Amino acid sequence: MKHKYKHGYFTLILAMLFWPLSQSNAAEHIIDMTAEKIDGGLLAYKMQSHTAGGVDITTRYSSVATIPGPTIVLAEGDTVTLTIRNGINVTDQQVSVHVHGVHYTILSDGTLKVINKIEDEGAYPSGFYTYLWTIAPGTAGTWPYHDHNFETHNGSEVKGLFGAVIVNPASGSVTASDGRNIASVPVSSIKKDYVLYLGDDAFWGMAIDGTSKQQTALGVNPLLTANRNDNVRFHLIAMGTYLNQFKLNGYQWVDPGTANMINTKAIGPLEKHVFTINASHSAAYMNTNFSRKLMGMTGNFNVTH
Ligand SMILES: [Cu+2]
C-alpha cells in the first residue's frame, strides 16, 4: 500500500510538471452578447463579439439575434470572460446567462439574489454583467445556457433565451461509429455539428460547419444535411418537460461513456446526449415518445453522394 501511495504521489508531481505543456492550446475567450426582443414577442441572444486566443471570430455567428442563441465552442483548459448586455429594456427586468457543466464561482451563476444569496447576477436595461468561466478538465460535453433572471427567477428560456456551450476534450478526439465499428476520430474531422434542442412540440436546430465554423440557426424540425462518409456530431439537449425518446432511423451510435451501440435514447428533461456518426444514408430523426410523435416532432437528415 505504501508503494502504491508513493507511486500516486509521483504521478501527481509528474502531472504538475507537465500541466503547463498539456494546457498549451488553452485559449482565453472574450465574449460579448446581448439579449434582444425579436418578432412574435420572443427574446433572443446575439453574439456581439468573440475573440479566442486573441483572434476575432465574431463573423462565425449570425449578425442578428437568433433562437437558438449562439453556440459557444470551447475546449477543456480554456477560460471565458462573458459579458451580457440588456437590449430588452423592460424596466427593472434583468437578463442573465446561467450556464451548466463548466466551472465558475457563485458570482458567475447568473441567478437572482433570492437564489444565490449574494447578488443579482444579470444586466439591467442598458447595463451589463460579466461572468468568468473556467473550462476545467473533466467538463468536456455539450451544455445548455439560458437566462435565469428575466421576469421570473426561472428565467425566460421559453421565450427564446437559450443556447449551448460545446466543450471539446483536451485530447482533441471523440468516439464515433459507422454503425459497425467504433473509432476515435479527431474533432477537426467533424464536418457538421448539429445542436438540436428538444422542446415540448418541436426540435430547434443550430448547425456549425466544420470547415468554415459558420453557425446557422435552423428553425424548427430542421432539414439536416451531410455528405456520405462525413463525420457528423449530434448534440441533443432536452429543454421541455417531457421524457423524450430519440431515434435516427437505421443508425446506431455509441452511448457516451460506454462501449454500447444503441439506436434509440431516452432523454429526460434537462438531460443531454451527444454522439458522432459517419453518415451512410438519409434518415428521419424523431422523438418517438408517443404524444410527441403525434405532434410531428420529426425531421430529415439528408445524406448525398
Ligand atoms: Cu438551467
Distance 8 CA to ligand 1 centre (A): 37
What the block records as the C-alpha cell of 139 is: 467538463
Residue 45 belongs to domain spanning: 28-168
Position 24 scores a pLDDT of: 54
Q: DSSP readout, 148-200?
A: --SSSTT-SGGGT-EEEEEEE-TTSEEEEE-SS-EEEEEGGGEEEEEEEEE-S
Kindly state whether residues 106 and 188 are assigned to the same domain: no
Position 292 scores a pLDDT of: 78
Q: How far apart are CA 220 and CA 203, in angstroms?
A: 5
Distance 148 CA to ligand 1 centre (A): 8
Distance 62 CA to ligand 1 centre (A): 24
Distance 101 CA to ligand 1 centre (A): 10
| Residue 208 φ then ψ, to 5° | -125, 120
Q: Are 94 and 122 in contact (CB under 8 A)?
A: yes
Q: Is 3 within a domain?
A: no
What the block records as the C-alpha cell of 179 is: 454503425
Number of domains in the chain: 2
Position 32 scores a pLDDT of: 98
Position 95 scores a pLDDT of: 97
Distance 209 CA to ligand 1 centre (A): 26
Kindly state whether residues 79 and 207 are assigned to the same domain: no
Q: Is 245 within a domain?
A: yes
Kindly state whether residues 112 and 209 are assigned to the same domain: no
Distance 77 CA to ligand 1 centre (A): 22
Q: Is 282 within a domain?
A: yes
- Residue 26, class by beta-carbon neighbours within 10 Å (0-12 exposed, 13-18 middle, 19+ buried)? middle
Distance 99 CA to ligand 1 centre (A): 7
Distance 196 CA to ligand 1 centre (A): 16
Kindly state whether residues 209 and 126 are assigned to the same domain: no
Distance 265 CA to ligand 1 centre (A): 21
Kindly state whether residues 194 and 121 are assigned to the same domain: no
Kindly state whether residues 201 and 286 are assigned to the same domain: yes
Kindly state whether residues 185 and 132 are assigned to the same domain: no
- Domain of 96, CATH number, reads 2.60.40.420
Position 158 scores a pLDDT of: 87
Question: Which residues lie below 8 Å from residue 91, measured CB to CB, with a gap of 6+?
Answer: 125
Kindly state whether residues 201 and 253 are assigned to the same domain: yes
Position 21 scores a pLDDT of: 45
Kindly state whether residues 282 and 163 are assigned to the same domain: no
Grouped pLDDT means (10 residues each) for the chain, 305 residues: 36 44 75 96 97 98 97 98 96 96 97 95 97 97 96 89 97 94 96 96 96 96 97 95 94 94 94 97 93 86 95
Interval 42-80: pLDDT, tens: 999 999 999 999 999 999 999 999 999 999 999 999 999
